[in-house]
A and B are shown apart, each in its own frame.
Chain A
Amino acid sequence: MFSAMLGEAWHSMGANRLRTFLTMLGMVIGVGAVVLMMAIGQGAEQAVKKSIQSMGSNLFIVLAGPPNMGGARSATGNAPSLNVKDATAMEDLEGVSNVAPINMGSAQVIYAGNNWNTSIIGTTPSYLDVRSWNLSDGYVFSDSDIRSATRVALIGKTVVQNLFGDDDPIGKTIRIKDSPFIILGVLDNKGQSLDGRDQDDTIIIPLTTSQRRVFGAQFSGSVRQIIVQADSDKVMPMVEDSLNSLLRQRHRIREGMDNDFSVRNLTALANSAAETTKTMSLLLGAIASVSLLVGGIGIMNIMLVSVTERTREIGIRMAIGARERDILMQFLLEAIVISIVGCLIGIGIGVGGALLVSHLTAASIVISSQSILTAFIVAASVGVFFGFYPAQKAAQLNPIEALRFQ
Chain B
Amino acid sequence: MPGHVIEVKNLYKDYQTAAGKFPVLKEVNLEIDAGDFVAIMGPSGSGKSTFMNILGCLDQPSSGEYMLNDQPVARLQGDRLAKVRNHTIGFVFQGFNLLARSSLLDNVALPLVYAGIDKTERHARARLLLEKVGLANHVNSHPNQISGGQQQRVAIARALINRPSLILADEPTGNLDSKTSEEIMTLFGELNREGITIVLVTHESDIAEHASRQVRFLDGRIVEDTRTSPIAVKGAPHV
Residues of A within 8 A of B (CB): 1, 3-5, 11-12, 15, 312-313, 315-326, 399-400, 403
Contact = CB atoms under 8 A, between A and B. Distances in A.
Contact of A313 (B82, B91, B99): B99
A15 B100 CA distance: 11
Give the 8 A-B residue pairs with the shortest CB-CB distance, closest first.
Answer: A321-B86, A323-B82, A320-B111, A321-B114, A321-B85, A316-B97, A323-B79, A399-B58
Contacts of A403: 58, 93, 97
B114 A323 contact: yes
Given A321-B86, A321-B162, A403-B97, A4 B113 contact: yes
A313 B143 CA distance: 14
Contacts of B2: none
A5 B53 CA distance: 27
B111 to A, nearest CB: 4
B101 interface: yes
A319 B56 contact: yes
Contacts of A320: 85-86, 91, 110-111, 114, 158
Contacts of A316: 97-99
A400 B97 CA distance: 13
Contacts of B93: 319, 403
Nearest to B115: A321
Given A4-B113, A316-B99, A326-B114, A400 B86 contact: no
A171 to B, nearest CB: 80
Nearest to A322: B114
Nearest to A313: B99
Interface residues of B, number: 27
A324 B79 contact: yes
Contacts of A5: 113
A315 B91 CA distance: 12
B121 interface: no
A317 B110 contact: yes
Given A323-B78, A403-B58, A15 B113 contact: no
B101 A15 contact: yes
A319 B79 contact: no
Interface string B119-144: 10000000000000000000000000
A11 B101 contact: yes
B78 A400 contact: no
Interface in B85-109: 85-87, 91, 93, 97-99, 101-102
Given A318-B82, A321-B86, A324-B82, 9 more contacts: A15-B101, A316-B97, A318-B58, A319-B56, A321-B111, A323-B79, A323-B114, A326-B114, A403-B93
Contact of B59 (A4, A15, A323, A400): A400
B20 interface: no
A315 B79 CA distance: 15
Contacts of B79: 323-325
A255 B93 CA distance: 101
A174 B175 CA distance: 101
Contacts of B75: none
Interface core residue of B59, B79, B97, B116 (most chain A CB under 10 Å): B97
B78 A324 contact: yes
Interface string B53-97: 100101100000000000000000011001101110001010001
